[in-house]
């Protein structure tokens, strides 16, 4: 078994008609996904990020078979999703953070009974999976509660359980932590980490919350304007984005910007100065140099903000 998910020069072109006058329409092609190629091995947990409209959801929809690619080759578990959508559906799980698969008006358990029938899960396995998911996702007291009465965090955990009852080999998560509070986010992340390590489920995670990525994914893919602009480790992303750490120093008194070779001053505010230096470089020599030549009171190091890194990355691509 080679790559579990494989895309080769996949593209998706939408035709958009725009009204340009009375009864006049202008046809325009929009490339939502353009020459996209990547592979995901079985058991990987990959973050898939990009700004709004970058083509993330279009990719997910093609991977589930709802949308047919305009060109290129796409396989999930050896299956061409759009041709054999039904067969693939039994092997994948999908969670859309902003939508729900659960029956709004009925108790949570009804939606699970429906999944039992829909995915033709053998009775014993259904009960076993349900028990396990209820325990891990802390759904015990919620099974008889109508879904409309659940909090967002509870509903999200309910939706994740619904997507996993049939033991899918791959789970697509589209914004699974959107709108959740810190406690709920942590619960969801802990569960996903366990799912991936214990059961080897392949996970493709789309998110705007970069903490999701930092805590869960060893590999990140960044998509922008339908093209893959980065594919690699999170650490590599910092390098690729030329990210910087910030050293904040409090001096004894107001001084002109300090002069050091390893960093540059980016901001001065009274006796406090901000120094930027490459993320890959140690702060120790810089601190030693400063301490030797300037009257230091206090200092702190701020880690690079991955969001800023990615924002810079998008901006660069837009220029080039």
Partner 1 sequence: MGAGRLYTAVAAGGFRRYATYRAATAAGVFTNTVFGLIFVYTYRALWDERPHLGGYDQAQVVTYVWLAQALLSTLAIGGGGVEEELMERIRTGDVVIDLYRPADLQLWWLAADLGRAFFQLVARGLFPFLFGALCFPVYLPADAGTWVAFLGAVLLAMLVGFGIRYLVALTAFWLLDGMGVAQMAWLLGYFCSGMLLPLNVFPGALGEVVRALPWSSLLQAPADVLLGRGEPLRTYLFQATWAVVLLGAGRLVQSAATRRVVVQGG
Residues lying near partner 1 in the complex (CB under 8 A) are found at 14, 52-53, 56-57, 61, 64-68, 85-86, 89-90, 94, 96, 98-101, 103, 105-106, 110, 113-114, 117-120, 146, 174
Q: Which of 310, 256, 247 is nearest to 284 (CA)?
A: 247
Work out how close the CB of 6 gets to partner 1 at its nearest, in angstroms, rounded to a whole number.
20
Q: Are the CB atoms for 265 and 208 separated by under 8 Å?
A: no
Work out how close the CB of 100 gets to partner 1 at its nearest, in angstroms, rounded to a whole number.
7
Q: What span, in angstroms and rounded, lies between the C-alpha atoms of 51 and 64?
A: 21
* Matching residue, tokens 């914004």: 175
**Cβ proximity to partner 1, 62 vs 247, nearer residue:** 62
**Cβ proximity to partner 1, 102 vs 275, nearer residue:** 102
The residue count for the chain: 320
Token representation of residue 299:
């200092």
**Cβ proximity to partner 1, 49 vs 247, nearer residue:** 49
Work out how close the CB of 169 gets to partner 1 at its nearest, in angstroms, rounded to a whole number.
14
Work out how close the CB of 117 gets to partner 1 at its nearest, in angstroms, rounded to a whole number.
4
Work out how close the CB of 41 gets to partner 1 at its nearest, in angstroms, rounded to a whole number.
23
**Cβ proximity to partner 1, 85 vs 264, nearer residue:** 85
Q: What span, in angstroms and rounded, lies between the C-alpha atoms of 250 and 261?
A: 19
**Cβ proximity to partner 1, 172 vs 191, nearer residue:** 172
Q: Are the CB atoms for 262 and 281 separated by under 8 Å?
A: yes
Q: What span, in angstroms and rounded, lies between the C-alpha atoms of 70 and 79?
A: 17
């Amino acid at each position: 078994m080679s790559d579990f998910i494989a895309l080769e020069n996949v593209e998706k072109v939408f035709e958009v008609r725009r009204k340009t006058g009375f009864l006049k329409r202008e046809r325009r092609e929009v490339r939502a996904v353009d020459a996209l190629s990547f592979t995901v091995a079985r058991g990987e947990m990959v973050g898939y990020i990009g700004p709004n409209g970058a083509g993330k959801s279009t990719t997910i929809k093609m991977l589930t078979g709802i949308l047919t690619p305009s060109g290129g080759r796409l396989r999930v578990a050896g299956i061409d999703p759009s041709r054999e959508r039904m067969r693939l559906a039994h092997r994948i799980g999908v969670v859309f953070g902003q939508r729900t698969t659960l029956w709004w008006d009925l108790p949570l358990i009804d939606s699970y009974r429906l999944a039992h029938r829909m995915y033709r899960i053998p009775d014993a396995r259904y009960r076993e999976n349900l028990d396990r998911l209820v325990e891990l996702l802390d759904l015990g007291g919620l099974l008889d509660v109508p879904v409309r009465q659940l909090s967002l965090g509870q509903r999200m955990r309910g939706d994740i359980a619904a997507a996993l009852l049939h033991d899918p080999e791959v789970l697509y998560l589209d914004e699974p932590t959107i709108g959740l509070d810190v406690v709920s986010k942590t619960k969801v992340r802990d569960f996903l980490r366990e799912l991936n390590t214990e059961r080897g489920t392949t996970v493709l995670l789309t998110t705007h919350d970069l903490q999701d990525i930092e805590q869960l994914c060893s590999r990140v893919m960044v998509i922008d304007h339908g093209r893959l602009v980065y594919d690699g480790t999170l650490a590599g992303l910092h390098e690729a984005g030329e990210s910087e750490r910030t050293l904040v120093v409090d001096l004894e008194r107001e001084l002109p910007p300090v002069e050091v070779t390893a960093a540059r001053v980016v901001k001065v505010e009274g006796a406090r100065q901000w120094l930027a230096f490459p993320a890959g470089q140690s702060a120790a020599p810089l601190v030693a140099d400063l301490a030797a030549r300037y009257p230091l009171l206090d200092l702190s190091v701020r880690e690079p903000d991955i969001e800023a890194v990615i924002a810079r990355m998008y901006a660069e691509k837009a220029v080039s």
